[in-house]
Structure 1
Amino acid sequence: MSNASIGIFDSGVGGLSVLREIERLLPNESLLYVADSGHVPYGEKSADHIRERSRAITGFLLDQGAKAVVVACNTATAAAVAELREQFSVPIVGMEPAVKPAAAATRSGAVGVLATTGTLQSARFAALLDRFAGSVRVYTQPCPGLVELIEAGELSGPRVTAMLREFSAPLIEAGCDTIILGCTHYPFVRPILETVVPEGTSIIDTGAAVARQLAARLAQRDLLSQGPAAQTRFWSSGEPKALEQALPALWRGNAAVLQLSF
Protein backbone atom coordinates (compact mmCIF):
# COMPACT_ATOMS: atom_id res chain seq x y z
CA MET A 1 0.00 0.00 0.00
CA SER A 2 2.91 2.41 0.65
CA ASN A 3 3.76 2.42 -3.06
CA ALA A 4 0.18 3.23 -4.07
CA SER A 5 -0.56 6.65 -5.57
CA ILE A 6 -1.70 9.91 -4.02
CA GLY A 7 -4.83 11.44 -5.53
CA ILE A 8 -5.14 15.21 -5.93
CA PHE A 9 -8.11 17.16 -7.26
CA ASP A 10 -9.22 20.73 -7.86
CA SER A 11 -11.92 22.52 -9.81
CA GLY A 12 -9.36 23.03 -12.57
CA VAL A 13 -5.67 23.77 -12.98
CA GLY A 14 -5.16 25.56 -9.65
CA GLY A 15 -4.27 22.38 -7.80
CA LEU A 16 -1.21 22.02 -10.02
CA SER A 17 0.42 24.58 -7.71
CA VAL A 18 -0.07 22.06 -4.88
CA LEU A 19 0.99 19.13 -7.07
CA ARG A 20 4.33 20.85 -7.70
CA GLU A 21 4.96 21.25 -3.96
CA ILE A 22 4.08 17.59 -3.30
CA GLU A 23 6.46 16.47 -6.06
CA ARG A 24 9.20 18.67 -4.60
CA LEU A 25 8.81 17.33 -1.05
CA LEU A 26 7.87 13.73 -1.87
CA PRO A 27 9.71 12.81 -5.08
CA ASN A 28 9.17 9.05 -4.58
CA GLU A 29 5.38 9.32 -4.62
CA SER A 30 3.23 8.44 -7.65
CA LEU A 31 0.51 11.02 -8.27
CA LEU A 32 -2.96 11.14 -9.82
CA TYR A 33 -4.47 14.54 -10.68
CA VAL A 34 -8.10 15.32 -11.53
CA ALA A 35 -9.04 18.74 -12.90
CA ASP A 36 -12.82 19.14 -12.60
CA SER A 37 -12.70 21.74 -15.35
CA GLY A 38 -16.18 20.88 -16.55
CA HIS A 39 -17.46 22.42 -13.31
CA VAL A 40 -15.06 25.34 -12.81
CA PRO A 41 -15.19 27.63 -10.88
CA TYR A 42 -16.26 25.97 -7.63
CA GLY A 43 -16.31 29.37 -5.93
CA GLU A 44 -19.57 30.28 -7.63
CA LYS A 45 -21.27 26.87 -7.14
CA SER A 46 -23.55 25.75 -4.32
CA ALA A 47 -22.09 23.82 -1.38
CA ASP A 48 -24.28 20.83 -2.27
CA HIS A 49 -22.90 20.73 -5.81
CA ILE A 50 -19.31 20.97 -4.56
CA ARG A 51 -19.89 18.15 -2.04
CA GLU A 52 -21.41 15.96 -4.75
CA ARG A 53 -18.45 16.52 -7.07
CA SER A 54 -15.93 16.01 -4.27
CA ARG A 55 -17.48 12.69 -3.24
CA ALA A 56 -17.56 11.44 -6.83
CA ILE A 57 -13.97 12.45 -7.60
CA THR A 58 -12.62 11.05 -4.32
CA GLY A 59 -14.35 7.74 -5.08
CA PHE A 60 -12.83 7.76 -8.56
CA LEU A 61 -9.32 8.36 -7.20
CA LEU A 62 -9.71 5.53 -4.72
CA ASP A 63 -10.87 3.27 -7.55
CA GLN A 64 -7.57 4.16 -9.26
CA GLY A 65 -5.73 2.89 -6.18
CA ALA A 66 -5.08 6.12 -4.27
CA LYS A 67 -3.82 5.67 -0.69
CA ALA A 68 -4.57 9.31 0.21
CA VAL A 69 -6.46 12.23 -1.33
CA VAL A 70 -5.52 15.91 -1.34
CA VAL A 71 -8.41 18.33 -1.82
CA ALA A 72 -6.28 20.97 -3.57
CA CYS A 73 -9.01 23.59 -3.52
CA ASN A 74 -9.91 25.98 -0.71
CA THR A 75 -13.58 26.13 -1.69
CA ALA A 76 -13.96 22.34 -1.87
CA THR A 77 -12.12 21.97 1.44
CA ALA A 78 -14.52 24.40 3.10
CA ALA A 79 -17.59 22.69 1.66
CA ALA A 80 -16.68 19.01 1.65
CA VAL A 81 -13.57 17.90 3.52
CA ALA A 82 -15.35 17.06 6.79
CA GLU A 83 -17.84 14.84 4.95
CA LEU A 84 -15.08 13.18 2.91
CA ARG A 85 -13.21 12.30 6.11
CA GLU A 86 -16.37 10.72 7.53
CA GLN A 87 -17.09 8.72 4.38
CA PHE A 88 -13.61 7.52 3.38
CA SER A 89 -10.99 5.80 5.52
CA VAL A 90 -7.85 7.00 3.69
CA PRO A 91 -6.06 10.20 4.78
CA ILE A 92 -7.84 13.27 3.35
CA VAL A 93 -5.75 16.46 3.34
CA GLY A 94 -7.40 19.79 2.62
CA MET A 95 -6.44 23.42 2.07
CA GLU A 96 -6.84 26.32 4.47
CA PRO A 97 -6.03 29.99 3.91
CA ALA A 98 -2.84 30.68 5.84
CA VAL A 99 -4.36 32.89 8.52
CA LYS A 100 -2.06 31.68 11.31
CA PRO A 101 1.31 32.32 9.54
CA ALA A 102 -0.02 35.57 8.10
CA ALA A 103 -1.07 36.78 11.55
CA ALA A 104 2.44 35.99 12.78
CA ALA A 105 4.10 37.72 9.81
CA THR A 106 2.22 41.02 9.69
CA ARG A 107 3.93 44.12 11.03
CA SER A 108 0.99 46.47 10.56
CA GLY A 109 -1.54 44.19 12.26
CA ALA A 110 -3.62 44.00 9.07
CA VAL A 111 -3.86 40.94 6.81
CA GLY A 112 -5.67 40.68 3.48
CA VAL A 113 -7.19 37.56 1.93
CA LEU A 114 -7.75 37.13 -1.80
CA ALA A 115 -10.11 34.20 -2.35
CA THR A 116 -13.23 32.98 -4.09
CA THR A 117 -16.68 33.94 -2.87
CA GLY A 118 -17.34 30.37 -1.78
CA THR A 119 -14.28 30.23 0.46
CA LEU A 120 -14.94 33.59 2.09
CA GLN A 121 -18.58 32.77 2.83
CA SER A 122 -17.87 29.37 4.37
CA ALA A 123 -18.34 28.52 8.02
CA ARG A 124 -14.93 26.84 7.97
CA PHE A 125 -13.21 30.07 7.00
CA ALA A 126 -15.10 31.96 9.70
CA ALA A 127 -13.95 29.40 12.26
CA LEU A 128 -10.37 29.74 11.01
CA LEU A 129 -10.51 33.49 11.60
CA ASP A 130 -11.91 33.00 15.09
CA ARG A 131 -9.16 30.52 15.91
CA PHE A 132 -6.06 32.19 14.53
CA ALA A 133 -6.63 35.88 13.75
CA GLY A 134 -6.50 37.06 17.38
CA SER A 135 -6.05 40.83 17.50
CA VAL A 136 -5.01 40.98 13.84
CA ARG A 137 -7.45 42.74 11.53
CA VAL A 138 -8.35 40.52 8.55
CA TYR A 139 -9.76 42.06 5.38
CA THR A 140 -11.24 39.78 2.72
CA GLN A 141 -11.60 40.37 -1.00
CA PRO A 142 -13.49 38.06 -3.39
CA CYS A 143 -11.94 37.81 -6.85
CA PRO A 144 -14.70 36.96 -9.34
CA GLY A 145 -13.39 36.14 -12.80
CA LEU A 146 -9.75 35.57 -11.83
CA VAL A 147 -9.98 31.77 -11.78
CA GLU A 148 -11.54 31.81 -15.24
CA LEU A 149 -8.64 33.85 -16.68
CA ILE A 150 -6.09 31.48 -15.16
CA GLU A 151 -8.02 28.47 -16.47
CA ALA A 152 -7.82 30.03 -19.93
CA GLY A 153 -4.03 30.26 -19.59
CA GLU A 154 -4.00 34.04 -19.16
CA LEU A 155 -1.30 34.40 -16.49
CA SER A 156 -0.11 37.89 -17.43
CA GLY A 157 -1.12 40.84 -19.57
CA PRO A 158 -3.34 43.89 -19.12
CA ARG A 159 -6.52 42.09 -18.04
CA VAL A 160 -4.82 40.08 -15.29
CA THR A 161 -2.86 43.14 -14.13
CA ALA A 162 -5.99 45.32 -14.01
CA MET A 163 -7.93 42.67 -12.11
CA LEU A 164 -5.21 42.15 -9.51
CA ARG A 165 -4.78 45.90 -9.08
CA GLU A 166 -8.54 46.28 -8.53
CA PHE A 167 -8.77 43.41 -6.05
CA SER A 168 -5.67 44.30 -4.04
CA ALA A 169 -6.40 48.04 -3.81
CA PRO A 170 -8.91 47.82 -0.90
CA LEU A 171 -6.49 45.62 1.04
CA ILE A 172 -3.59 48.01 0.55
CA GLU A 173 -5.81 50.99 1.48
CA ALA A 174 -6.75 49.16 4.69
CA GLY A 175 -3.06 48.93 5.62
CA CYS A 176 -2.51 45.24 4.86
CA ASP A 177 1.18 44.42 4.61
CA THR A 178 0.52 40.69 4.26
CA ILE A 179 -1.75 39.09 1.65
CA ILE A 180 -2.94 35.50 1.71
CA LEU A 181 -3.58 33.73 -1.60
CA GLY A 182 -6.73 31.86 -0.60
CA CYS A 183 -7.16 29.92 -3.83
CA THR A 184 -4.79 27.39 -5.38
CA HIS A 185 -5.11 29.09 -8.77
CA TYR A 186 -3.67 32.38 -7.53
CA PRO A 187 0.03 31.39 -7.11
CA PHE A 188 0.23 31.26 -10.91
CA VAL A 189 -0.35 35.04 -11.11
CA ARG A 190 1.78 35.87 -8.06
CA PRO A 191 4.52 37.49 -10.22
CA ILE A 192 1.95 40.00 -11.51
CA LEU A 193 0.49 40.61 -8.05
CA GLU A 194 3.98 41.44 -6.77
CA THR A 195 4.18 44.28 -9.30
CA VAL A 196 0.92 45.95 -8.19
CA VAL A 197 1.30 45.84 -4.39
CA PRO A 198 3.79 47.94 -2.40
CA GLU A 199 7.34 46.68 -2.16
CA GLY A 200 7.82 44.59 0.95
CA THR A 201 4.29 43.21 1.01
CA SER A 202 4.37 39.58 2.14
CA ILE A 203 2.41 37.18 -0.09
CA ILE A 204 1.58 33.82 1.44
CA ASP A 205 0.12 30.66 -0.09
CA THR A 206 -0.27 27.23 1.46
CA GLY A 207 0.95 24.70 -1.12
CA ALA A 208 4.17 23.84 0.71
CA ALA A 209 2.35 23.57 4.05
CA VAL A 210 -0.16 21.15 2.53
CA ALA A 211 2.69 18.99 1.18
CA ARG A 212 4.22 18.88 4.67
CA GLN A 213 0.87 17.95 6.22
CA LEU A 214 0.44 15.19 3.64
CA ALA A 215 3.90 13.82 4.41
CA ALA A 216 3.13 13.78 8.12
CA ARG A 217 -0.20 11.99 7.64
CA LEU A 218 1.41 9.35 5.42
CA ALA A 219 4.26 8.85 7.88
CA GLN A 220 1.78 8.32 10.73
CA ARG A 221 0.27 5.41 8.81
CA ASP A 222 3.59 4.11 7.46
CA LEU A 223 2.44 4.92 3.93
CA LEU A 224 5.43 6.88 2.61
CA SER A 225 6.67 5.40 -0.65
CA GLN A 226 10.27 4.33 -1.14
CA GLY A 227 9.85 4.88 -4.89
CA PRO A 228 10.61 5.10 -7.64
CA ALA A 229 7.61 7.25 -8.57
CA ALA A 230 5.45 6.17 -11.47
CA GLN A 231 4.49 8.65 -14.18
CA THR A 232 2.00 11.27 -12.96
CA ARG A 233 -1.44 10.66 -14.49
CA PHE A 234 -4.01 13.34 -15.33
CA TRP A 235 -7.76 13.48 -15.95
CA SER A 236 -10.10 16.36 -16.79
CA SER A 237 -13.88 16.60 -16.77
CA GLY A 238 -13.56 19.43 -19.27
CA GLU A 239 -11.61 19.37 -22.52
CA PRO A 240 -8.49 17.21 -21.99
CA LYS A 241 -6.57 19.07 -24.70
CA ALA A 242 -6.96 22.32 -22.75
CA LEU A 243 -5.24 20.80 -19.73
CA GLU A 244 -2.55 19.22 -21.93
CA GLN A 245 -1.79 22.65 -23.38
CA ALA A 246 -1.62 24.22 -19.90
CA LEU A 247 0.74 21.67 -18.35
CA PRO A 248 4.05 22.99 -19.79
CA ALA A 249 3.40 26.43 -18.28
CA LEU A 250 1.84 25.35 -14.98
CA TRP A 251 3.56 22.04 -14.22
CA ARG A 252 6.92 20.81 -15.52
CA GLY A 253 6.32 19.33 -18.96
CA ASN A 254 3.95 17.51 -21.25
CA ALA A 255 1.62 14.63 -20.38
CA ALA A 256 -1.43 12.94 -21.81
CA VAL A 257 -4.74 13.86 -20.17
CA LEU A 258 -7.62 11.40 -20.02
CA GLN A 259 -11.32 12.31 -20.13
CA LEU A 260 -13.21 12.13 -16.84
CA SER A 261 -16.61 10.99 -18.00
CA PHE A 262 -18.83 12.07 -15.09
Structure 2
Amino acid sequence: MSDSLAASSFQSLHLQADTPGRVLVLDSGVGGLSVQREIKQALPEAGLLYLADRAAFPYGDWDAGELCEHLSKLVRSVSEAWSPSAVVVACNTASTLVLESLRSFLKVPVVGTVPAIKPAAQQTRSGVFAVLATPGTVKRDYTQDMIVDFAPDHHIALVGASGLAALAEDKMAGRGVDLGRLKQEIAPCFVEKDGQRTDCVVLGCTHYPFLQEEMARIAPWPVTWIDPAPAIARRLAQVVDKDALAIGCDDLFFVTN
Protein backbone atom coordinates (compact mmCIF):
# COMPACT_ATOMS: atom_id res chain seq x y z
CA MET A 1 0.00 0.00 0.00
CA SER A 2 1.56 3.29 -1.06
CA ASP A 3 1.93 6.33 1.20
CA SER A 4 -0.40 8.29 -1.10
CA LEU A 5 -3.08 5.61 -0.72
CA ALA A 6 -2.56 5.57 3.03
CA ALA A 7 -3.00 9.34 3.22
CA SER A 8 -6.12 9.44 1.05
CA SER A 9 -7.63 6.49 2.92
CA PHE A 10 -7.03 8.17 6.26
CA GLN A 11 -8.81 11.29 5.03
CA SER A 12 -11.73 9.36 3.58
CA LEU A 13 -12.20 7.56 6.88
CA HIS A 14 -12.91 10.81 8.65
CA LEU A 15 -14.99 12.28 5.84
CA GLN A 16 -17.33 9.29 5.85
CA ALA A 17 -17.37 8.45 9.53
CA ASP A 18 -21.15 8.97 9.68
CA THR A 19 -21.87 5.54 8.13
CA PRO A 20 -22.38 2.94 10.88
CA GLY A 21 -22.73 -0.78 10.39
CA ARG A 22 -19.60 -1.65 8.46
CA VAL A 23 -17.75 -4.83 9.40
CA LEU A 24 -14.44 -3.84 10.96
CA VAL A 25 -11.56 -6.04 9.76
CA LEU A 26 -8.30 -5.56 11.66
CA ASP A 27 -4.66 -6.55 11.09
CA SER A 28 -1.21 -5.04 11.52
CA GLY A 29 -0.73 -4.61 7.76
CA VAL A 30 -2.23 -5.94 4.55
CA GLY A 31 -2.44 -9.58 5.63
CA GLY A 32 -6.06 -9.29 6.68
CA LEU A 33 -7.00 -8.44 3.12
CA SER A 34 -6.86 -12.21 2.51
CA VAL A 35 -9.75 -12.49 4.99
CA GLN A 36 -11.52 -9.44 3.58
CA ARG A 37 -11.72 -10.94 0.08
CA GLU A 38 -13.38 -14.07 1.50
CA ILE A 39 -15.84 -11.95 3.47
CA LYS A 40 -16.77 -10.25 0.21
CA GLN A 41 -17.55 -13.67 -1.24
CA ALA A 42 -19.70 -14.64 1.73
CA LEU A 43 -21.36 -11.22 2.25
CA PRO A 44 -21.01 -9.44 -1.11
CA GLU A 45 -23.18 -6.45 -0.21
CA ALA A 46 -21.65 -5.79 3.21
CA GLY A 47 -19.68 -2.60 3.77
CA LEU A 48 -16.24 -3.25 5.20
CA LEU A 49 -13.85 -1.02 7.09
CA TYR A 50 -10.31 -2.40 6.88
CA LEU A 51 -7.97 -1.20 9.62
CA ALA A 52 -4.31 -1.67 8.70
CA ASP A 53 -2.43 -0.96 11.92
CA ARG A 54 0.89 -0.35 10.21
CA ALA A 55 2.36 1.57 13.14
CA ALA A 56 2.28 -1.68 15.14
CA PHE A 57 3.52 -4.05 12.39
CA PRO A 58 4.25 -6.88 13.01
CA TYR A 59 2.06 -7.96 15.89
CA GLY A 60 4.19 -11.07 16.35
CA ASP A 61 7.05 -9.00 17.76
CA TRP A 62 5.00 -7.49 20.59
CA ASP A 63 4.92 -8.48 24.24
CA ALA A 64 1.63 -10.30 24.83
CA GLY A 65 0.31 -7.95 27.50
CA GLU A 66 1.27 -4.80 25.64
CA LEU A 67 -0.29 -6.04 22.41
CA CYS A 68 -3.55 -6.90 24.15
CA GLU A 69 -3.70 -3.43 25.72
CA HIS A 70 -2.84 -1.72 22.44
CA LEU A 71 -5.48 -3.58 20.44
CA SER A 72 -8.18 -3.14 23.05
CA LYS A 73 -7.67 0.63 23.06
CA LEU A 74 -7.50 0.79 19.27
CA VAL A 75 -10.64 -1.25 18.63
CA ARG A 76 -12.54 0.59 21.34
CA SER A 77 -11.65 3.95 19.76
CA VAL A 78 -12.57 2.92 16.21
CA SER A 79 -15.76 1.20 17.36
CA GLU A 80 -16.94 4.27 19.27
CA ALA A 81 -16.45 6.36 16.11
CA TRP A 82 -17.86 3.89 13.59
CA SER A 83 -20.34 1.60 15.39
CA PRO A 84 -19.42 -1.53 13.39
CA SER A 85 -21.86 -4.39 13.01
CA ALA A 86 -19.09 -6.91 13.76
CA VAL A 87 -15.34 -7.02 14.35
CA VAL A 88 -13.02 -9.52 12.64
CA VAL A 89 -9.55 -9.85 14.12
CA ALA A 90 -7.77 -11.02 10.96
CA CYS A 91 -4.56 -12.04 12.71
CA ASN A 92 -3.70 -15.31 14.42
CA THR A 93 -1.26 -13.77 16.89
CA ALA A 94 -3.69 -11.07 17.97
CA SER A 95 -6.63 -13.46 18.17
CA THR A 96 -4.85 -15.75 20.63
CA LEU A 97 -4.59 -12.77 22.99
CA VAL A 98 -7.31 -10.18 22.56
CA LEU A 99 -10.65 -11.85 21.78
CA GLU A 100 -11.76 -12.16 25.41
CA SER A 101 -10.92 -8.51 26.08
CA LEU A 102 -12.79 -7.26 23.00
CA ARG A 103 -15.86 -9.34 23.78
CA SER A 104 -15.95 -7.87 27.29
CA PHE A 105 -16.78 -4.37 26.03
CA LEU A 106 -18.18 -4.79 22.51
CA LYS A 107 -21.86 -5.51 21.99
CA VAL A 108 -21.39 -6.92 18.48
CA PRO A 109 -19.94 -10.27 17.34
CA VAL A 110 -16.16 -10.59 17.46
CA VAL A 111 -14.70 -13.21 15.11
CA GLY A 112 -11.10 -14.30 15.51
CA THR A 113 -8.54 -16.14 13.44
CA VAL A 114 -6.99 -19.35 14.73
CA PRO A 115 -4.58 -21.84 13.14
CA ALA A 116 -6.49 -24.38 11.03
CA ILE A 117 -5.19 -27.35 13.00
CA LYS A 118 -8.50 -29.21 13.10
CA PRO A 119 -8.99 -29.10 9.30
CA ALA A 120 -5.39 -30.17 8.77
CA ALA A 121 -5.85 -33.15 11.08
CA GLN A 122 -8.92 -34.11 9.07
CA GLN A 123 -7.31 -33.66 5.66
CA THR A 124 -3.86 -35.16 6.14
CA ARG A 125 -3.36 -38.64 4.77
CA SER A 126 0.19 -39.13 6.02
CA GLY A 127 -0.44 -37.96 9.58
CA VAL A 128 2.36 -35.44 9.14
CA PHE A 129 1.58 -31.77 8.67
CA ALA A 130 3.07 -28.37 9.44
CA VAL A 131 1.77 -25.22 11.06
CA LEU A 132 3.50 -22.25 9.46
CA ALA A 133 2.91 -19.20 11.64
CA THR A 134 4.62 -16.33 13.41
CA PRO A 135 6.83 -17.11 16.41
CA GLY A 136 4.18 -15.51 18.62
CA THR A 137 1.42 -17.80 17.39
CA VAL A 138 3.58 -20.91 17.59
CA LYS A 139 4.45 -20.38 21.25
CA ARG A 140 0.96 -19.49 22.49
CA ASP A 141 -0.76 -21.94 24.83
CA TYR A 142 -3.83 -21.60 22.61
CA THR A 143 -2.00 -23.26 19.71
CA GLN A 144 -0.69 -26.03 21.92
CA ASP A 145 -4.16 -26.66 23.31
CA MET A 146 -5.59 -26.97 19.78
CA ILE A 147 -3.00 -29.63 18.98
CA VAL A 148 -3.94 -31.58 22.11
CA ASP A 149 -7.65 -31.28 21.31
CA PHE A 150 -7.64 -31.96 17.57
CA ALA A 151 -4.38 -33.63 16.55
CA PRO A 152 -2.85 -35.48 19.50
CA ASP A 153 -1.75 -38.45 17.41
CA HIS A 154 -0.26 -36.52 14.50
CA HIS A 155 3.30 -35.46 13.88
CA ILE A 156 3.23 -31.68 13.56
CA ALA A 157 6.08 -29.38 12.57
CA LEU A 158 5.50 -26.08 14.34
CA VAL A 159 7.36 -23.47 12.30
CA GLY A 160 7.69 -19.93 13.61
CA ALA A 161 8.67 -17.89 10.55
CA SER A 162 10.09 -14.48 11.40
CA GLY A 163 10.14 -12.85 7.97
CA LEU A 164 7.20 -14.10 5.91
CA ALA A 165 4.79 -11.31 6.85
CA ALA A 166 7.32 -8.74 5.66
CA LEU A 167 7.77 -10.67 2.39
CA ALA A 168 4.00 -10.57 1.87
CA GLU A 169 3.98 -6.84 2.54
CA ASP A 170 6.72 -6.46 -0.07
CA LYS A 171 4.71 -8.39 -2.64
CA MET A 172 1.54 -6.41 -2.01
CA ALA A 173 3.49 -3.17 -2.36
CA GLY A 174 4.86 -4.30 -5.73
CA ARG A 175 8.43 -4.81 -4.56
CA GLY A 176 8.65 -8.51 -5.48
CA VAL A 177 9.48 -11.53 -3.31
CA ASP A 178 12.93 -12.73 -2.27
CA LEU A 179 12.50 -16.41 -3.20
CA GLY A 180 15.76 -17.42 -1.51
CA ARG A 181 14.60 -16.05 1.81
CA LEU A 182 11.13 -17.49 1.30
CA LYS A 183 12.61 -20.95 0.71
CA GLN A 184 14.62 -20.72 3.92
CA GLU A 185 11.55 -19.70 5.91
CA ILE A 186 9.33 -22.57 4.74
CA ALA A 187 11.99 -25.33 4.61
CA PRO A 188 11.31 -26.58 8.19
CA CYS A 189 7.72 -27.37 7.17
CA PHE A 190 8.85 -30.24 4.97
CA VAL A 191 9.75 -33.22 7.15
CA GLU A 192 9.69 -36.99 6.99
CA LYS A 193 8.59 -39.18 9.89
CA ASP A 194 8.48 -42.99 9.86
CA GLY A 195 8.43 -43.10 6.09
CA GLN A 196 5.70 -40.45 5.83
CA ARG A 197 6.19 -36.82 4.93
CA THR A 198 4.38 -33.51 5.24
CA ASP A 199 1.28 -33.40 3.06
CA CYS A 200 -0.49 -30.34 4.49
CA VAL A 201 0.76 -26.92 5.57
CA VAL A 202 -1.46 -24.71 7.71
CA LEU A 203 -1.07 -21.04 6.80
CA GLY A 204 -1.12 -19.67 10.35
CA CYS A 205 -0.86 -15.99 9.44
CA THR A 206 -3.26 -14.04 7.24
CA HIS A 207 -0.31 -12.59 5.31
CA TYR A 208 0.80 -16.00 4.08
CA PRO A 209 -1.95 -16.76 1.50
CA PHE A 210 -0.55 -13.91 -0.59
CA LEU A 211 2.67 -15.93 -0.90
CA GLN A 212 1.01 -19.28 -1.61
CA GLU A 213 1.80 -19.22 -5.33
CA GLU A 214 5.51 -18.63 -4.67
CA MET A 215 5.61 -21.18 -1.85
CA ALA A 216 4.06 -23.85 -4.04
CA ARG A 217 6.61 -23.10 -6.74
CA ILE A 218 9.66 -23.58 -4.50
CA ALA A 219 8.33 -26.34 -2.21
CA PRO A 220 10.35 -29.60 -2.36
CA TRP A 221 7.15 -31.58 -2.98
CA PRO A 222 3.44 -30.82 -3.44
CA VAL A 223 1.32 -30.22 -0.33
CA THR A 224 -2.15 -28.94 0.49
CA TRP A 225 -1.99 -25.35 1.70
CA ILE A 226 -4.75 -24.69 4.24
CA ASP A 227 -6.00 -21.09 4.40
CA PRO A 228 -8.41 -20.35 7.30
CA ALA A 229 -9.93 -17.27 5.63
CA PRO A 230 -12.96 -18.99 4.04
CA ALA A 231 -13.92 -20.48 7.42
CA ILE A 232 -13.60 -17.07 9.08
CA ALA A 233 -15.91 -15.55 6.49
CA ARG A 234 -18.46 -18.33 6.94
CA ARG A 235 -18.40 -17.83 10.71
CA LEU A 236 -18.94 -14.11 10.33
CA ALA A 237 -21.92 -14.73 8.04
CA GLN A 238 -23.42 -16.99 10.72
CA VAL A 239 -23.12 -14.58 13.65
CA VAL A 240 -23.51 -11.06 12.22
CA ASP A 241 -26.88 -9.34 12.40
CA LYS A 242 -27.75 -8.94 8.73
CA ASP A 243 -30.18 -6.12 9.54
CA ALA A 244 -27.34 -4.12 11.14
CA LEU A 245 -24.99 -4.35 8.18
CA ALA A 246 -24.16 -1.26 6.18
CA ILE A 247 -25.11 -2.19 2.62
CA GLY A 248 -23.64 -0.91 -0.62
CA CYS A 249 -20.69 0.92 0.92
CA ASP A 250 -17.27 0.95 -0.69
CA ASP A 251 -14.43 -0.68 1.22
CA LEU A 252 -12.26 1.75 3.15
CA PHE A 253 -8.68 1.37 4.31
CA PHE A 254 -7.67 3.01 7.55
CA VAL A 255 -3.91 3.15 7.93
CA THR A 256 -2.28 4.35 11.15
CA ASN A 257 1.00 6.21 10.75
Q: What band does the TM-score fall into relative to the shorter chain?
A: 0.7 to 0.9
Residues in 1 aligned to 2:132 and 2:181: alpha-carbon distance in whole angstroms: 12
Q: Does 1:215 align with 2:237?
A: yes
Give the whole-Å Cα distance in 2 for the aligned partners of 1:18 and 1:195. Answer: 23
* Unaligned ranges ≥5, structure 1: 239-262
Is residue 9 of structure 1 aligned with residue 26 of structure 2? yes
Is it true that 1:132 corresponds to 2:150 in the alignment?
Answer: yes
- The verdict on how the C-alpha distance between 1:231 and 1:45 changes in structure 2, with shifts beyond 3 A counting, is same
State TM-score, norm by structure 1: 0.83
Match of 2:249 in 1: 230
Shift of 1:188: 0.5
CA displacement, residues 40-70 of structure 1 (integer Å, 9 cap, x when unaligned): 0111111112112211222133221201100
Match of residue 184 from structure 1:
206
The offset of 1:85, in angstroms, is 1.4
Q: In the alignment, which residue of structure 2 is the partner of 1:42?
A: 59
Shift of 1:108: 1.0
Q: CA deviation at 1:181?
A: 0.5
| 2-structure distance, mates of 1:120, 1:52 | 21
Q: Provide the C-alpha distance between the structure 1 equivalents of 2:47 and 2:39, rounded to a whole number of angstroms.
A: 10
Contiguous gaps of at least 5 residues in structure 2:
1-19
Superposed displacement of residue 125, structure 1: 1.1
Q: Tell me the distance in 1 between the aligned counterparts of 2:115 and 2:55.
A: 25
Structure 1 residue 18, shift from structure 2 partner: 0.4
Q: Secondary structure at the match of 1:209?
A: helix
Q: Judge which range, 116-125 or 57-66, deviates more.
A: 57-66
> Are the structure 2 counterparts of residues 224 and 158 from structure 1 closer, same or farther at C-alpha, using a change threshold of 3 Å?
closer
* Contact 1:156-1:189 within 8 A present in 2 as well: no
Aligned to 2:16: none
Superposed displacement of residue 20, structure 1? 0.6
Give the C-alpha shift of residue 222 in structure 1. 5.2
SS at match of 1:28: coil
- Map residues 39-188 of structure 1 onto 2, 5 A cutoff: 39-63=56-80, 64-153=82-171, 157=176, 159=178, 161-174=179-192, 175-188=197-210
- Could you tell me how far apart the structure 1 residues matched to 2:28 and 2:147 are? 24
Distance in 1 between the 2:170 and 2:243 partners?
36
- Does the CA contact (< 8 Å) of 2:126 and 2:199 recur in 1? yes
Aligned partners of 1:41 and 1:20: how far apart in 2?
A: 21
C-alpha distance in 1 between matches for 2:220 and 2:46: 39
Structure 2: how far apart are the matches of 1:57 and 1:26? Answer: 25
Q: Is the 8 A contact 2:24 2:48 kept in 1?
A: yes
2:205 alignment partner, SS class:
coil
Pair 1:158–1:51, CA change in 2 (3 A): closer
Q: For 2:177 and 2:237, how far apart are their aligned partners in 1?
A: 39
Mapped to 1, the partners of 2:102 and 2:247 lie a distance apart of: 29
CA distance in 1, matches of 2:209, 2:157: 19
Aligned partners of 2:53, 2:177: CA distance in 1, in Å?
27
Cα deviation for residue 82 of structure 1 reads 1.7
How far did residue 151 of structure 1 move? 2.1
Question: In 2 relative to 1, CA 223–111 (structure 1 residues): closer, same or farther, beyond 3 Å?
Answer: farther
User: Do the aligned residues in 1 keep the contact of 2:28 with 2:52 (CA within 8 Å)?
Assistant: yes
Q: Secondary structure at the match of 2:162?
A: coil
Structure 2 residue 219 is matched with structure 1 residue 200: no
CA contact (8 A) 1:72 1:94 kept: yes
Amino acid at match of 1:195: R
Q: Which amino acid aligns with 1:207?
A: A
